Amino acid sequence: MTPPPLASPGLRTGYREMRRRAPASDRPGASPGAAGLSLPVQGGSVSSLAVPGAMFYAGIDWAAEAHAVCVTDAAGAVVARFDVAHSAEGLGRLTRRLASLGDPGDIPVAIERPSGRLVDVLLEAGHPVVPVSPNAIKAWRDGEVLSGAKSDAADARLIAEYLRLRQHRLRVAAPYSEQTRALRVVVRTRDDLVDARVAAVNQLAAMLEAHWPGGKAIFARLDSPVALEFLTRYPDAASAARLDQAGIAGFCAGLGYSGKRPAAELLDRLRSAPAGTTSPELAAATADAVQALVTVLKAITSAIRDLDRSVATRLGEHPDGKIFTSLPRSGQINAAQVLAEWGDCRPAYEHPDAVAALAGVTPVTRQSGKHRAVEFRWACNKRLRRAITIYADNSRRASPWAAAIYDHARAAGKDHPHAVRILARAWIRVIWRCWTDGTPYDPGLHRAAATLARHAAAESAA
């Protein structure tokens, strides 16, 4: 494998010397064999994902209840135009109408949506599905329709025309395996539930801060089991008014609390906080609201635990699971998050910079005349960016190589998020090589990490 070397003024970590810029700025780095490229190559040498030549091109304007469909021939003439309902009967009619024109494998279908049951039905029927950017279609429409007129049927025609004329720059949807799709479902659902838990905790904290600060102050984390059980039993200030040190000690002992905080300290936190509301009506309403939020948090926490087990099971069954779990300090959940968004379609990424661009850890350069700006990449797979940057940040605590890259970036004046993105880009090159070869990560085969370890050992011996 040929991973990036130890952080230096070189290029492989995505770092170059420069003056400190605004926080949104980033500095691009060249990659071996793809200098200057930061976006995935579209329509390159990977024939399995290139749009096949065809006699007909279909465009679908997706909607919640019905879809507008337009099919053109190789010359751009419309050969079919119809609407189908978003139902079993409607989608069946769609595949039958397209099949009547020829072999589904020779009729690529462009759509502004890369996933969903409509896409699944088209893929199952054998059609190459080509996701297109809604922004690209809007710009195409603005150039083609000067009057600004718009309709679903006209948009379907525009999408078909865009596919016909731009097929050399487009690629069909990456065919992920069933294991990857299953893993992605549970990982994304878990991530959404974690976000929901954070929102519920913030809502509960605001409620307690306004009406009973002591209930928020007594335990460090509001979403911990002991804090939720305490608020279930004492949902307002009046219910905890007679609570003493012995009462708190008995409560903690009953729950097996091991927070290493004596009852006297917990009681002091409760009593030293601002007094809660004394109005009987407001206190009763506060108790109802607190218990409702606590019930929600208990349900979300239980669901997350169940999904944790499901994620671990599906990660263990995935053929690439061993690659991502072999990374230092990746853990089960974070490894599953990276794998679920990275996928298992090898032809989807011709080089590691394609993954880095998808993950949003490479910048975007805008240049016109004398103006040149290097900016933060906003358009990306944000779930992958969060997963890979969390991993990169954690890895520096277990990998001396990762810590050296991060420390070098910080010493050069980069802030923490920028330094983590630099490290994430370096890790992507390592992971990409392991993923391409189908081998788990081995620090002994990682030349930069092995060299650093030898230098450290030599210094220790000296």
At residue 201, does pLDDT exceed 70? yes
Q: How far is CA 3 from CA 32, 325, 352, 420, in A?
A: 11, 18, 10, 17
At residue 68, does pLDDT exceed 90? yes
- Identify the DSSP state of 275: P
Same domain flag for 191 and 221: yes
What is the C-alpha to C-alpha distance for residues 365 and 369, in angstroms, rounded to an integer? 13
Q: Decide if 145 is inside a domain.
A: yes
At residue 151, does pLDDT exceed 70? yes
Nearest residue to 156 via CA among 232, 80, 104: 80
Tokens of 266: 């917990």
Q: Decide if 326 is inside a domain.
A: no
**CA Rg value for the chain:** 28
Same domain flag for 155 and 214: no
pLDDT tens per residue across span 4-56: 434 333 333 333 333 333 333 333 333 333 333 223 333 333 345 777 778 89
Q: Decide if 103 is inside a domain.
A: yes
At residue 216, does pLDDT exceed 70? yes
What is the C-alpha to C-alpha distance for residues 339 and 152, in angstroms, rounded to an integer? 37
- Percentage of residues in the chain with pLDDT exceeding 90? 69
For residue 129, the cross-strand partners are 109
Tokens of 53: 């030549």
Same domain flag for 31 and 64: no
User: Would you say 377 and 364 are in contact if contact means Cβ atoms under 8 Å apart?
Assistant: yes
Q: Decide if 110 is inside a domain.
A: yes
pLDDT tens per residue across span 112-139: 988 888 999 999 999 999 999 999 999 9
**Which of 169, 190, 212 marks a domain boundary?**
169
Res 45: pLDDT? 35
The string over 89-128, giving b where at least 16 C-beta atoms fall within 10 Å of a residue's C-beta and e elsewhere, is ebbebbbeebeebeebeebbbbbbeeeeebbebbbebebb
Same domain flag for 36 and 91: no
Mean pLDDT of 354-369: 92
**Which of 143, 169, 195 marks a domain boundary?**
169
At residue 275, does pLDDT exceed 50? yes
CATH number at residue 271: 1.10.287.4070
User: Would you say 309 and 209 are in contact if contact means Cβ atoms under 8 Å apart?
Assistant: no
- Packing angle of the helix pair 416-437, 382-395 (nearest 10 deg): 100
Q: Decide if 416 is inside a domain.
A: yes
Is-above-0.85 flag for pTM? no
Same domain flag for 74 and 37: no
Same domain flag for 283 and 305: yes
Nearest residue to 350 via CA among 46, 49, 52, 50: 46
Q: Please give the distance of CA 222 from its chain centroid, rounded to a whole number.
A: 26
Res 95: pLDDT? 95
Identify which has the larger pLDDT, 43 or 196. 196
Mean pLDDT of 427-440: 95
Same domain flag for 102 and 163: yes
- Packing angle of the helix pair 400-411, 416-437 (nearest 10 deg): 140
What is the C-alpha to C-alpha distance for residues 143 and 102, in angstroms, rounded to an integer? 32
**Which of 313, 348, 378 marks a domain boundary?**
313
Identify which has the larger pLDDT, 447 or 128. 128
**Angle, CA of 312, 318 and 322, to the nearest 5°:** 80
Same domain flag for 137 and 254: no
pLDDT tens per residue across span 232-260: 999 999 999 889 999 999 999 898 887 77
Q: How far is CA 210 from CA 236, 277, 280, 309, in A?
A: 11, 9, 15, 37
Same domain flag for 58 and 34: no
Q: Decide if 321 is inside a domain.
A: no
Region for residue 14 given its phi and psi (left: phi exceeds 0; alpha: psi -120 to 50; beta: otherwise): left
Q: Decide if 220 is inside a domain.
A: yes
Q: Decide if 322 is inside a domain.
A: no
Mean pLDDT of 264-291: 92
Tally the domains of the chain: 3
Tokens of 223: 């979403």
Average pLDDT, the chain: 86
Res 137: pLDDT? 92
Same domain flag for 401 and 433: yes
Res 460: pLDDT? 65
User: Would you say 446 and 3 are in contact if contact means Cβ atoms under 8 Å apart?
Assistant: yes
Among the residue ranges 4-8, 38-42, 182-186, 458-462, the one predicted with the least confidence is: 38-42
Q: Which amino acid is at 415?
A: D
**Pairing state between β 129-131 and 109-111:** parallel
Res 44: pLDDT? 35
- Percentage of residues in the chain with pLDDT exceeding 70? 89
Same domain flag for 349 and 407: yes
Residue-range definition of the domain harbouring residue 98? 51-169
Same domain flag for 220 and 338: no
pLDDT tens per residue across span 383-420: 999 999 999 999 999 999 999 999 999 999 999 999 99
Q: Map residue 366 onto helix, strand or coil.
A: strand
